[in-house]
Amino acid sequence: MPPLRLNPTLFNRCRASSRPRLLRPALLPRFLAAQARWSSATTEPNQPDPDGGTQGAPSSQKHIKYTSESYPEIKRDSKFGGLSEKHVQYFKELLGTESAVIDGFSQDATDDLEPFNSDWMRKYKGHTKLVVKPGSTEEVSKVLKYCNYNMLAVVPQGGNSGLVGGSVPVFDEIVVNMSRMNKIRDFDEVSGTLVVDAGCILEVADHFLAEKNHIFPLDLGAKGSCQIGGNVATNAGGLRLLRYGSLHGNVLGIEAVLPDGTVMDDLSRLRKNNTGYDIKQLFIGGEGTIGIITGVSIQCPQRSKASNVAFFGLESFGKVQQAFCAAKGQLSEILSAFELMDGPSQDLVHRVTDKKRPLEGQHPFYCLIETSGSNPDHDSEKLESFLENVMGEEIVSDGVLAQDETQIQSLWSWREGIPECLGHWGGVYKYDLSIPLPELYKLVEDTRERLTSAGLVGDDETHPVVGVVGYGHMGDSNLHLNIATRRFDKEVENKLEPFVYEWIAKRNGSISAEHGLGLAKKAFIGYSRSETMIRLMKQIKELYDPNGIMNPYKYI
Amino acid sequence: MPPLRLNPTLFNRCRASSRPRLLRPALLPRFLAAQARWSSATTEPNQPDPDGGTQGAPSSQKHIKYTSESYPEIKRDSKFGGLSEKHVQYFKELLGTESAVIDGFSQDATDDLEPFNSDWMRKYKGHTKLVVKPGSTEEVSKVLKYCNYNMLAVVPQGGNSGLVGGSVPVFDEIVVNMSRMNKIRDFDEVSGTLVVDAGCILEVADHFLAEKNHIFPLDLGAKGSCQIGGNVATNAGGLRLLRYGSLHGNVLGIEAVLPDGTVMDDLSRLRKNNTGYDIKQLFIGGEGTIGIITGVSIQCPQRSKASNVAFFGLESFGKVQQAFCAAKGQLSEILSAFELMDGPSQDLVHRVTDKKRPLEGQHPFYCLIETSGSNPDHDSEKLESFLENVMGEEIVSDGVLAQDETQIQSLWSWREGIPECLGHWGGVYKYDLSIPLPELYKLVEDTRERLTSAGLVGDDETHPVVGVVGYGHMGDSNLHLNIATRRFDKEVENKLEPFVYEWIAKRNGSISAEHGLGLAKKAFIGYSRSETMIRLMKQIKELYDPNGIMNPYKYI
């Protein structure tokens, strides 16, 4: 069955003939089927992107520059000890199995170390000579205690799917990779409380929960590779924060190891526990700078029985805001996603994939709306009434409604495929920003205007910039501003920074809505946080990690 | 219209005659109306109780013992300075207006100071000689800076509606009362973000939001007097946490003053902001021990268009659990409260109020279920289908469904009226506990058995205990165990403590689910938290309040 196509002209014609309920999904396809032209073919993404999207590895296997070369101003801190054979020996004995230690000290293991030294974007590359993979909280504790005593710097590493270089070393920091701690520890079906090892893959947990009729309250494009410990450490937001809220609300307990080896046993399974400072919250978004998360307890909602996805074209960002308000008001408790994509982002997806577009013609803006609820009939009725409103009022210009799971996935691919397609020409400058909603899109316009008037944007090889696009989680006021380029170019960079950050600071926005600080944003925190807050944060770092061994050179 | 009455016998009779939809609210009243016997008269509670209930002030105007007498083991810390005329003069000049300073130093102001020195339960009483009421964040900053420099201990005070003695002084601590900072600063209708002064009364904010078609994501019995700053400082839970989640998820920003006068300007209005440690979280549930919250930014959901309340009688706690699972599964996204009341609690309410019971006969357990949704028809249908299930399966024995707002309030009064009625005979031992759901009610049975077999429970004056009851927020695994007594009695206390806390510790529960630690639970934190966690908490206290002037003698 083709997806249900809707547009206001048709709708108003129907309405004029006094058939106001003609948008009912069961009816419309019959007389609109002939006009449906959109293919539901999808492409398989190579590589997940935590933008709530999927992103291919850059098309060319370019040489990865060492971070220490890209950021020459960062110097290795001489307080850290160097790795010796004695150290390697200690870890080998501690962790027992050969496979738990990858050692480039006594032998050439460059290829084996490569995946742990560099990020999937191939943007950051470290010089580590040692990767350890502890298999238990106790082993993590012994590793950190030893490193702290010997002043060996450490980088905690989960699925290594971050976008800000937070999970790879800069110099010779030891990588503590959590992939061996990957068990689901416990699930209680009555309360919906899940307890997992930090290295458990998000998708593995979600599949496990699906069998129990529950859902993980976080979803993002990288779910096939990202680990829950990393999600929590970076306070991942993702696609359904709008519906299920943030990890600060959903995480019930954390087990973590402090740099001195102390095990913070705060793995509560209780929804309510007002007995003292909620210290675990510091580890949510702490990016591995004060300890390593080893276990997580989280409340999981029941899985929805029904899911619907609609995809609209709109004439202006004002109309997108109107549609968002209408969705909040009318879809209310069943609204689970409201995603924004601008016209240029969809044009680039179309250029790269050559897929048929979901809608006829081109529109300045698109949005994807998802509902999740417990009663398919009720959800359809609510959606229908919402569609009547936004189409009758001509808030949206055109739209389609997915008719089955394949079409749902296909519509999502026009949102999730953006990051992958943007990488097609070379590199992408990526900004992940929180901006008050009315001005959310103005930054994209201002940036495009700025780069265009500098003569940097164009269709041929002489121009470094292919396009300036905006998309993101409209429901959370979270914009992803992306600049697709043919090559990284200093002039482009100079036009972008600090321009983007100053623009954000003027509007009290956030320079990192969900990606975190890592190495990429460390220098810019002052645009989103006051000196007082930064001072208070440094106090916390000093308190938990006085030797500074945890994930150095990054964060604050 | 009388409330709709339902019971399985009638339901099954209807079903046998193949009229499976007879429970539709529009139909049932007609043939059951004659049987309705429940009066919707309500009593006006005197005084709110933050248990998610309303509680009268104890019936007798008993003499309030000084906390320093009830807890002779707590000694005034000699490091704190004593109040002098010079200090009082400073505050008078700083705060300008006469009414902002109540001073019992140079004059006898015992009566004026009384409401600030004692709690509404008349259980705790301090010796303060000075109450200051700053009118701005800057004034709070100057007050604390001065106190910190002069080693003057301080108690932050909001609506003073707490249950653990956290907001009144023990000795001569200066009360910093926040009632003058009571403004709504800002509201954004598109995002639903509300920014308020800390001293804003919860109900005032909720009424303001009602006009904007939004709702405060926290509701509790004390809403008419409690202040939002106090709610956040105590991480209040309340009636609808089940639906809207905890303050750790909903609070977007906090402005607070640290003991040294530093203003922590973290009043973000953004849903997502991953730029450093989320320090504000330490103030949520910090109970005024590391600073004073002066402003709060919080995300508020849209107000539901429809609300339904049903009230059931059930034969066992096993059936209550079945009903809860059914409600989660079938009412799903519209379920907004699932409250438990045991038979004895309802018997006591009945004895005190002499109101007609909602249901005929008596039942070992009762529960109150509330739905809130955007479409009244859909909600009714979901509720109807749920009722069919729980009555058809004989999970519930009897039930009523409110037909209008008056009946909704009246049904709620059987839940919210419990704390008030328990105080009728004298004092109440109150425990606020998180317990894994399957064992939630066992504690009430075990406690009742323990006190009964010790000969302490009875209907006449010779027995100190009137009854042992359990009620609470089933949806959050949060039990309120209450022991209604004719008089406080050492033998009763010895039977209860540490028994209750040991019982909780064995099950990894929480000794304070939502009330906090204050003075009442300070000594018992070890039953819910490990030595490591307590040590980490003490580090935080030491970091922010090295002089220890903030709310001393309490918390950890």
pLDDT digits (tens, 9 = 90+) for B125-176: 999 999 999 999 999 999 999 999 999 999 999 999 999 999 999 999 999 9
Handedness of CA A139, A145, A146, A152 (dihedral sign): positive
Q: Is A373 on the interface with B (CB under 8 A)?
A: yes
Q: Which residue has the tokens 């949060």?
A: B478
A521 to B272: CB separation less than 8 angstroms, yes or no: no
H or E element, residue B4: strand B4-6
Predicted confidence band at B527 (pLDDT cuts at 50, 70, 90)?
Answer: very high
Q: Which residue has the tokens 């099954």?
A: B12
B82: in domain: yes
Give B112→chain A minimum CA distance, Å: 32
Q: What is the CATH number of the domain that holds A492?
A: 3.30.70.2740
B488: in domain: yes
B311 in Cβ contact with B341 (< 8 Å): no
Predicted confidence band at B42 (pLDDT cuts at 50, 70, 90)?
Answer: very low
A310 in Cβ contact with A368 (< 8 Å): yes
B448 and B486 in a single domain? The answer is yes
A160 in Cβ contact with A122 (< 8 Å): no
Query: How far is residue A521's CA from residue A536's CA, in Å, rounded to a whole number?
Result: 18
The two three-digit tokens of residue A302, written as one number: 């029941």
Confidence check: pLDDT of A26 > 60: no
A84: in domain: no
Q: What is the pLDDT of residue B295?
A: 98
A290 and A312 in a single domain? The answer is no
Closest Cβ–Cβ partner in B516, B528, B537 for A279? B537
Report the amino acid identity of residue B405. E
Give B349→chain A minimum CA distance, Å: 27
B161 and B213 in a single domain? The answer is no
Confidence check: pLDDT of A35 > 50: no
A67 in Cβ contact with A101 (< 8 Å): no
Give A323→chain B minimum CA distance, Å: 11
Give A71→chain B minimum CA distance, Å: 20
B410: in domain: yes
Bridge-partner residues for B428, per DSSP?
B484
Between vectors from CA B280 to CA B277 and to CA B284, what angle results, nearest 5°? 130
**Residue A267 exposure: Cα atoms within 13 Å on the Cβ side:** 20
B92 and B197 in a single domain? The answer is no
Q: Is A268 on the interface with B (CB under 8 A)?
A: yes
Q: What is the CATH number of the domain that holds A372?
A: 3.30.70.2190
**Residues of chain B with C-beta less than 8 angstroms from the C-beta of A436:** 188, 191, 269
B238 and B274 in a single domain? The answer is yes
Query: How far is residue B261's CA from residue B146's CA, in Å, rounded to a whole number?
Result: 8
Q: What is the CATH number of the domain that holds B236?
A: 3.30.465.10
B525 to A275: CB separation less than 8 angstroms, yes or no: yes
Confidence check: pLDDT of A423 > 60: yes
Angle between helices B8-16 and B376-392 (to 10 degrees): 90
Give B249→chain A minimum CA distance, Å: 4
Q: What is the pLDDT of residue A214?
A: 96
B542 in Cβ contact with B535 (< 8 Å): no
3-state SS, one letter per residue, for B298-360 = EECCECCCEEEEEEEEECCHHHHHHHHHHHHHHCHHHEEEEEEEEHHHHHHHHHHHCCCCCCC
**Residues of chain B with C-beta less than 8 angstroms from the C-beta of A233:** none
C-alpha closest to that of B537 among B528, B229, A260, A193: B528
**Assign residue B456 a region: left if phi > 0, alpha if psi is -120 to 50, beta otherwise?**
alpha
B241 to A381: CB separation less than 8 angstroms, yes or no: no
Query: How far is residue A247's CA from residue B298's CA, in Å, rounded to a whole number?
Result: 16
B313 and B279 in a single domain? The answer is no
Query: How far is residue A441's CA from residue A509's CA, in Å, rounded to a whole number?
Result: 13
Q: Is B57 on the interface with A (CB under 8 A)?
A: no
Query: How far is residue A474's CA from residue A472's CA, in Å, rounded to a whole number?
Result: 6
Query: How far is residue A429's CA from residue A444's CA, in Å, rounded to a whole number?
Result: 13
A274 and A337 in a single domain? The answer is no
Q: What is the pLDDT of residue A253?
A: 98
B23 in Cβ contact with B390 (< 8 Å): no
| Domain finish residue from A250, A267, A299 | A299
Alpha-carbon distances of A116 from A232, A363, A461, rounded to whole Å? 20, 42, 34
A281 to B286: CB separation less than 8 angstroms, yes or no: no
B538: in domain: no
Q: Is B114 helix (H, G, I), strand (E, B) or coil?
A: helix
Q: Is B188 on the interface with A (CB under 8 A)?
A: yes
Quick: pLDDT tens for A239-286.
889 999 999 999 999 999 999 999 999 999 999 999 999 999 999 999
The two three-digit tokens of residue A174, written as one number: 């030891």
Quick: pLDDT tens for A509-536.
999 999 999 999 999 999 999 999 999 9
Q: What is the pLDDT of residue B47?
A: 41
β pairing state of A292-299 and B130-132: unpaired
> What is the percent of chain A where pLDDT is above 70?
89
The two three-digit tokens of residue A463, written as one number: 């121009």
C-alpha closest to that of B136 among B193, B175, B94: B94
Predicted confidence band at B489 (pLDDT cuts at 50, 70, 90)?
Answer: confident
Alpha-carbon distances of B57 from A465, B92, B116, B207, B525, rounded to whole Å? 71, 33, 16, 25, 28
- Per-residue pLDDT, averaged over B220-239, amounts to 95
The radius of gyration computed from the CA coordinates of chain A, to the nearest angstrom, equals: 24
CB atoms within 10 A of CB A51: 29
A521 to B275: CB separation less than 8 angstroms, yes or no: yes
Q: What is the pLDDT of residue A489?
A: 86
B138: in domain: yes
Handedness of CA B377, B379, B380, B382 (dihedral sign): positive
Q: How far does Cα B21 stand from its chain's mean position?
A: 39
Query: How far is residue A363's CA from residue A150's CA, in Å, rounded to a whole number?
Result: 60
B279 to A540: CB separation less than 8 angstroms, yes or no: yes
**Residues of chain A with C-beta less than 8 angstroms from the C-beta of B269:** 436, 508
Q: What is the mean pLDDT of chain B?
A: 89
B114 in Cβ contact with B41 (< 8 Å): no
C-alpha closest to that of A215 among A183, A185, A250, A182: A250
What ranges make up the beta strands (E) of A374-474?
A: 398-401, 428-434, 465-473
Q: Is B378 on the interface with A (CB under 8 A)?
A: yes
**Residues of chain B with C-beta less than 8 angstroms from the C-beta of A278:** 235, 248, 281-282, 284-285
Bridge-partner residues for A256, per DSSP?
A264, A293
Predicted ipTM beyond 0.95 = no
Query: How far is residue B392's CA from residue B360's CA, in Å, rounded to a whole number?
Result: 19
Q: Which residues in chain A (412-471) have CB-CB distances under 8 A to chain B?
A: 434, 436-438
A397 and A467 in a single domain? The answer is no
Closest Cβ–Cβ partner in A190, A277, A382 for B375? A382
Predicted confidence band at A30 (pLDDT cuts at 50, 70, 90)?
Answer: very low
- Contact partners, residue A525, CB within 8 Å, separation at least 6: A511, A517, A534, A556, B275, B276
What ranges make up the beta strands (E) of A451-542?
A: 465-473, 478-485
Closest Cα in chain B to A304? B332
Quick: pLDDT tens for B395-415.
999 999 999 999 999 999 999
Higher-confidence residue: A223 or B17? A223
Query: How far is residue A198's CA from residue A181's CA, in Å, rounded to a whole number?
Result: 6
Q: What is the pLDDT of residue B11?
A: 46
**Residues of chain B with C-beta less than 8 angstroms from the C-beta of A375:** 378, 381-382
B284 to A278: CB separation less than 8 angstroms, yes or no: yes
Query: How far is residue A299's CA from residue A2's CA, in Å, rounded to a whole number?
Result: 37
Domain count, chain A: 3
The 10 Å CB-count burial string (b at 16+, else e) for B113-123 is: beebbbbbbbb
**Residues of chain A with C-beta less than 8 angstroms from the C-beta of B521:** 275
A278 in Cβ contact with B281 (< 8 Å): yes
B550: in domain: no
Closest Cβ–Cβ partner in A290, A438, A532 for B264? A532
Interface test mutation site (partner B, options A272, A300, A303, max chain B beta carbons within 10 A):
A272
> What is the percent of chain A where pLDDT is above 90?
83
Predicted confidence band at B49 (pLDDT cuts at 50, 70, 90)?
Answer: low
Q: How many CB pairs under 8 A join A and B?
A: 260
Peptide bond preceding B498: is omega within 30 degrees of 0, i.e. cis?
A: yes
The 10 Å CB-count burial string (b at 16+, else e) for A478-493 is: bbbbbbbbbebbeebe
Q: Is A101 helix (H, G, I), strand (E, B) or coil?
A: strand
A348 and A295 in a single domain? The answer is no
Give residue B349's domain range: 4-36+304-416
The two three-digit tokens of residue B334, written as one number: 């519209």
Quick: pLDDT tens for A170-222.
999 999 999 999 999 999 988 999 999 999 999 999 999 999 999 999 999 89
Higher-confidence residue: B406 or A40? B406
Q: Which residue has the tokens 């001195």?
A: A260
Q: How far does Cα B24 stand from its chain's mean position?
A: 35
Predicted confidence band at A9 (pLDDT cuts at 50, 70, 90)?
Answer: low
Query: How far is residue B13's CA from residue A504's CA, in Å, rounded to a whole number?
Result: 66
Q: What is the pLDDT of residue A527?
A: 96
A430: in domain: yes
A246 to B272: CB separation less than 8 angstroms, yes or no: yes
| Domain finish residue from A264, A299, A334 | A299
Closest Cβ–Cβ partner in A273, A324, A528 for B275? A528
The two three-digit tokens of residue B318, written as one number: 């096993």
**Assign residue B441 a region: left if phi > 0, alpha if psi is -120 to 50, beta otherwise?**
alpha
| Domain finish residue from A245, A271, A299 | A299
Query: How far is residue A21's CA from residue A494's CA, in Å, rounded to a whole number?
Result: 54
β pairing state of B193-197 and B292-299: antiparallel
Q: Is A476 on the interface with B (CB under 8 A)?
A: yes
**Residues of chain A with C-beta less than 8 angstroms from the C-beta of B248:** 248-249, 278, 281
Q: What is the pLDDT of residue A1?
A: 64
A359 and A430 in a single domain? The answer is no
A318 and A390 in a single domain? The answer is yes
Q: Is B555 helix (H, G, I), strand (E, B) or coil?
A: coil
- Contact partners, residue A380, CB within 8 Å, separation at least 6: A24, A25, A306, A308
C-alpha closest to that of A516 among A235, A232, A201, A249: A235
Q: Which residue has the tokens 């019982």?
A: B503
A385 and A328 in a single domain? The answer is yes
Query: How far is residue A310's CA from residue A318's CA, in Å, rounded to a whole number?
Result: 19
Handedness of CA A328, B300, B302, B205 (dihedral sign): negative
